[in-house]
Structure 1
Amino acid sequence: MKSLVFHYDVVSPYAWLAFERLPQAMEGISHAVAYRPVLFAGLLKAHGHKGPAEIPGKREWTYRQVDWLARQLGVPLQLPQPHPFNPLALLRLGLACVPAGQMPGRRIVEALFRHAWCADGADPNDPHRLQALQADLEPLRDPQGDEVKAELRALTDQAVARGLFGVPTVEVDGRLYWGVDALPMLREDLLAAG
């Protein structure tokens, strides 16, 4: 069985698309997935980069491409307003739903992504929406507590140390596969490795 780590930030539409398509990419391959949140802005800062939505021409292209790509892949996607949004509340909420040192499971991560990308363009940080999501997920720890904040910082620092520069990134056997378009390459490599 292959152990995969899916590094994500809910701010990324590409991470949402890859999250949805990963099960199909892994069909027929024995695997387990650990979902690991990272702060995309932290990766960008560590590498001295700007995010796609911070560059005017690239922002428009990204929005057009993810809309097209979502339709091609059959994945629901509605650009939230505003975008980019601050993902910290959602990333911390996901971590708060599990005991310290554990990673959120697929159900929790899916709820976070759907909150951001399948809500008819609603603001992911709207206080009423966040409160409803938190009530639904029933966190075990305080999402705004120092323990959870430190955990997210540590996960982001670890991702930088592993060589991550963007999300989504799937890590398997020490190799990194960046982006939704890397899923076919991931599948091919795993099949070739037997």
Structure 2
Amino acid sequence: MKHITFYLDFVSPYAWLAFERLPQVLEGLSYHLHYKPVLLGALLQQHANPGPAGVPPKRDWTYRHATWLGHALGCGLDMPARHPFNPLPLLRQALACSDDGTVNRYVAGTVLRHVWLGGQDALDPARLDVLAQALAEQLRPDAEGAGALPKALLRANTDEASARGVFGVPAFEVEGRLFWGLDSLPMLRAYLDGDAWFDGPAWDAAPAVPSGLPSVR
């Protein structure tokens, strides 16, 4: 059985699309998925990356593309009333259902649907109350008195992701190899199927290509 870590932040439309697509991509394989919420903004900041929302034309394209992909893949995707937004309340709500930094598929899916279906404000207080009720049975027994633990888990997850080379979400790690983005899912499937390409030199050779840009000092 393969163990796959799925790093996600609920603010990412592609995390929602990958979440919906992944069961079909992995159909027929023996695997176990670990869903790990991380703070995308912290990962982007480490690489001085403004993200798609920081480049206005790219923001426009990203939203169009993600919305079309939701249609094309049949899972739907409605841009929330405001985006980007601060995902910390959602990340901590999800991790209040965890004692080790991972959440189950029900928790991940409930929060993702809260954001990406219906086109509403992801941080609307009334909607957050409804979300909390939907997750109530998933909460750790000590969740009410342990508000610091979700914060610590999120920090640890994000630090772990960074140490493993995660620079964005969705990202998938299996056996020390990292696959990034919705469009990496066919590549992930090929690896899990034992494609001989992964036994050759190309995986390590690709990032060893020298840069043709002058170094920044």
TM-score interval, normalised by the smaller of the two chains: over 0.9
From 121, 124, 141, the equivalent of 2:122 is 124
TM-score (norm 1): 0.95
Give, in whole Å, the separation in 2 of the partners of 1:26 and 1:18. Answer: 11
Q: Partner of 1:154 in structure 2? A: 156
Per the alignment, in what secondary structure is the counterpart of residue 75 of structure 1?
A: coil
Q: Partner of 2:11 in structure 1? A: 11
Q: Partner of 1:115 in structure 2? A: 114
Q: Partner of 2:37 in structure 1? A: 37
Letter in 2 for 1:55: V
Give, in whole Å, the separation in 2 of the partners of 1:143 and 1:52. Answer: 37
Q: Partner of 1:183 in structure 2? A: 185
Give, in whole Å, the separation in 2 of the partners of 1:143 and 1:2. Answer: 35
Cα drift, residue 142 of structure 1: 3.9
Give, in whole Å, the separation in 2 of the partners of 1:97 and 1:23. Answer: 22
Farther-moved stretch of structure 1 (131-140 vs 120-129): 131-140
Per the alignment, in what secondary structure is the counterpart of residue 178 of structure 2?
A: strand
TM-score (norm 2): 0.85
Q: Deviations over 1:10-54 (max 9, x none)?
A: 000001000000000001111010000000001011111111112
Cα drift, residue 151 of structure 1: 1.3
Aligned length: 192
| Greater C-alpha Rg | 2
Structure 2 unaligned regions, length at least 5: 197-217
Structure 1 unaligned regions, length at least 5: none
Map 1:47-58; keep pairs closer than 5 Å. Answer: 47-58=47-58
Map 1:76-95; keep pairs closer than 5 Å. Answer: 76-95=76-95
* C-alpha distance 131-124 of structure 1, shift in aligned 2 (>3 A): same
Cα drift, residue 136 of structure 1: 1.6
Q: Partner of 1:101 in structure 2? A: 100
Percentage of pairs with the same residue: 51
* C-alpha distance 143-9 of structure 1, shift in aligned 2 (>3 A): farther
* CA-atom RMSD in angstroms: 1.5
Cα drift, residue 179 of structure 1: 0.5
